[in-house]
Structure formats: structure tokens, C-alpha cells
Amino acid sequence: MPIVSIIIGVILLLLLMMVLKLNAFISLIIASLVVGILEGMSPAEAMTSVQNGLGSSLGSLTMVIIFGAVLGKLMTDSGGAQRIATTMLNAFGHKRVQLASVITAGVVGIALFFETGVVVLIPLVFTIAAAAGVPILYIGIPVITALITMHGFVPPHPGPTAIAEVFGASIGETLIWGILIAIPAIIVAGPLFTKLFKKEDLEVEIPKGLFNPKTFEEHEMPSFTTSIITAILPVILIAIKSIVELAAPESAIRPFTDFVGTASTALLISVIIAMFTFGLNRGKSMKEVMNSFAEATAGIALILLIIAGGGAFKQVLIDSGIDQYIAGLMEDTTLSPIILVWVIGAVLRVALGSATVAGMTAAGIAAPIVAVTGASPELMTLAAGAGSVGFSHVNDAGFWIVKEYFNMSIGKTFKTWTVLTSIISIIGLIGVLILDMFI
């Protein structure tokens, strides 16, 4: 039974890491191989699937994570992050520091992939928390909540955009309803959720190499304009790409915007500019700038390995056909279309880890129902997105990104990240059902 194989794999993974204290990367590889063999793969086939998963995960995320980490390191080493943080604190006040962080992450999250948004905003989270004198997760939880919610609900992110195409939904309407549903989801799973924790539960130790605790003098920091433009340049480039895709898909500039607006390219361009704005123009030598580069990459080496291991685990689940098995179980149910697509998306998310795969598979199963029942394609899109974004655990790369960047234990990651994604998913479903009463 595929479900039994998944359960055994997850239990084995947790035992290796939590009981035997084995490194997460090694544990993920072992668990991946075991699940593949239990599902009928030969050992060689299971290893091939693992290798493909490692390659696909690193291939899509390596440049994003490295360049994002370097951009963040240059920003913190120059005082740019401190300048943005202090300006935000002065504008919003210490009492509304969470609001300032959520607004920033929500705007950034419209254009950036979740992983990109995390690596760009993590240095700001550390800096704002230090400047405001609050626990890191007091700021961090609302920020990652805003990022993952926008990633799951709002076009032009690839997941909701692709799902909208399957259902034949209007991208514009999906974006409007998606933002409307995202707002309460972010508030509940972010700022309100943090109120359930004691102050000491929100404290974490900053990973070495990802943050410079130095306090800069006023004259040492770049201006706010320079700092904010350099910091959000990846957002601007990616947003331009998205706008051209939606507004002028046949435009002659489309090939150029597609290139500069790809996450990896946008971050590379931003790093090159940051070398000047945060480095050379501030009186630093190229050697000092490259030292920041080296420190940033050293700080994320293990993170890359763990994310790759999570990708291997996910690939084995997909290659073994578990997604098709689960989809088959759900096809003949009599649930309402919106609840059906949410349940399929949620179950696949738990089983596979990939929100995009879960959402697309759920949409493929439920798409024919739209024509028969007259269900709103836009709401079906959002229901699939809500189901696929929740219940993140050890087979999701996002779980490991959050765990490692915030230096949390597995147990603490479950209590924070897994719970907040589940809240987002449930609030999203409730929002879709309420809109369905009026649309």
C-alpha cells in the first residue's frame, strides 16, 4: 500500500534525525531509498530517482539561494539592512513592527517565489528583530506567512497561474479574489498566531554566516533610497516580467523581460549592482566584497544539501506513482467541487510535499467537474491553491528552508511552520466557501 510506504518513510526519517541524531541530508537519502524500494523499485531505480530529485531541486534553487544569500549578506555587511529596518521602525513605530514586516513581505511576495522571498527577507527579519528588541520568530512567522500565502493564492506565481489555466479561470479575477482571501489568512496565521507562544518560545539563535550583528553608525550606512531599491530590485525585475506576460504576451520585449525577470537572473543582476551600492561605492575593496560572498555561501552549504535531500524524497514519491494512487482514491467522491479539490490538494500535499504538483494534480482531477456543476473556475483555482499550500512537513523543501534559516529543531518547525501553513489552508478554504455564497 503506497500510503503505508509513505508513513514508514516519514517515521524512519524522523527516527533517524530525532533519535539517532543523524544529519538531515543523510537521513533524507536513506528514507528516500527505503520508500522507493517499498514501492516496488529496484535499488538501482530508487537511487536513480534520488539522483534525479537531487539534481532537479538544486538545479532550480541553487542560484536563487546562493545569490539571495549573497545579496542579503552584502546588505547586512554594509548597513543597508539596518537602514531599512530603522526607517521602517521610525515610520511605523515599535508597536506596529509586525504590521510593517507583514506589509513588506506581502508586497514582495506578490512577485517573488517563496524561496526567493525568504532568502531576500531573512536578513531584514534578523535586523528588524534586533532593532526592535523582539524575538526573531515574532517577526519571522508573520513574514514567512505572508510569503507562502501569496505564493499559494496569488498569480502571477506559477502554481496558481498554472492551476487557473487548467480550470480556464480569469487570471485577473483570481488575483483579486486571491488577495482578498490572503489578507485574513496572513493575519490569522501570522501576527495572531504568534500571540499563542510565550516570548521565550519565539527566540531562536541566528545561524552563523547569515547575519552581521554589528551596529552601524549613521554615516556608515547607505541611504534608505539606495538600500531599498537595491533590496527590492529582484522584485521589480520579476514584477516587470509578470506584467509583460499578462498585459503584452506577444510584445517584442518579451524575450528580454523573460530573461531578466527569471528569479536566478534577477538575483544575479541584483548581486552585481549590490557589489557597487553596498560595496565598492561604500569604500570597500573587491576583496572585502568577495569575503562577504564567501561567508554567505559557506553559511548556506548545509542548507543546500538538506533542500536537495528533500527534493530526492519528493521525487521518489512521484516516480513511484503515489500521486496517481491517491488521485484514484478521490475521483468517485460526492463532495462539493470546492471541498473536493481542496481535499485532493491537501492530501497530495501531505503525501508529496510539492505544492505545485499537488495543486496541478488536484486541478486535473476536478477540472471536468466545473463544466458539469457550474462552479466558479476562479474559486476552484483558489481552493486547489489553498489545499496545496497547507500541512507542510518533512517532504517539503519549504519545511527545511524555514527550519535551517531560523535554526529551529524539527519539533519547533512542526509547531510553527507546519501549523501556520495548515491555518492558511483552512482559512483559505473558508474564504473560498464564503465567496462562493456571493459569486
Residues 6+ apart with CB under 8 A from 300: 65, 66, 69, 209, 210
Could you give the C-alpha distances from 147 to 139, 180, 318, 337, 438, in angstroms and in order? 13, 15, 26, 27, 28
Q: If you average pLDDT over every residue of the chain, what do you get?
A: 84
Peptide bond into 2 cis (omega under 30): no
Residues 6+ apart with CB under 8 A from 290: none
Average pLDDT over residues 135-145: 93
- Given a cut of 80, whether residue 49 has pLDDT beyond it is yes
Please give the pLDDT value at position 423: 97
Would you say the C-alpha torsion 337, 340, 346, 352 has a positive or negative sign?
negative
DSSP 367-400: HHHHHHH---HHHHHHHHHHHHHSS--TT-HHHH
Average pLDDT over residues 405-427: 94
277-287 pLDDT tens trace: 999 988 889 99
Total-model pTM: 0.70
66-121 pLDDT tens trace: 888 888 888 888 888 778 877 877 888 878 889 888 888 887 776 566 876 787 78
Could you give the C-alpha distances from 265 to 117, 180, 196, 347, in angstroms and in order? 15, 31, 40, 34
- Given a cut of 60, whether residue 180 has pLDDT beyond it is yes
Q: Is 436 exposed, middle or buried (0-12, 13-18, 19+ CB in 10 A)?
A: middle
CA angle 369, 374, 379 (to 5 degrees): 80
pLDDT tier, 290 (very low <50, low <70, confident <90, very high otherwise): very high
pLDDT tier, 214 (very low <50, low <70, confident <90, very high otherwise): low
1-44 pLDDT tens trace: 677 887 888 788 778 877 888 877 888 899 889 989 998 899 99
Q: Which of 234-243, 345-354, 428-437 has the highest mean pLDDT?
A: 428-437
108 and 156 Cβ atoms separated by less than 8 Å? no
- Mean pLDDT lowest for which of 203-207, 224-228, 258-262? 203-207
